[in-house]
Amino acid sequence: LRIVLRSYEACGFDCHQNCRSWKGAHIMDTLLYMQDVCLGGYKWFLRGRLDCVIRIYVQKVLDDAGRKAASILQQQGIHICHTELRTVMETLLAATEADILSLVECMWPPHVSGTITQIFMDVQKEVTQMCGDLQRQKRGPVILILDN
């Protein structure tokens, strides 16, 4: 996947300027296939970070929710760092409830996934009230970090 992404980046200009070129089309097809294989249903991660996250009041909501979630989970015997929860909340800010639940179930024990999902949905609702429709918010660049 790393080779495919580097190849895509190397000829990214060619892909966008000359979509009919075989090389560009081939690399785009390969990239989309690798996204399906490696990211599965989580391709929405490639949409980029919401710009509204840099606002101080949104950061405060995320920080408070991360601490609240960590405290609730600690009472249930699960120790998850509040900064980890906050980071995941920020990433999932515009995700659907099904996407949130699916990812949370992959990351943490199933018996707490409902609690975490509900907290994430509450945060999403609060940020939506402050910033408006999250699907229409501007997004930053996509950063994809791949590890062996």
pTM over 0.85: no
User: Can you tell me the mean pLDDT for 78-86?
Assistant: 87
Mean predicted confidence (pLDDT) in 18-45: 58
Show me where the domains of the chain are located. Answer: 2-47, 51-136
SS (H, E, C) the chain: CHHHHHHHHHCHHHHHHCCCCHHHHHHHHHHHHHHHHHHHHHHHHHHCCEHHHHCHHHHHHHHHHHHHHHHHHHHCCCCCCHHHHHHHHHHCCCCCHHHHHHHHHHHCCHHHHHHHHHHHHHHHHHHHHHHCCHHHCCECCCCCCCCC
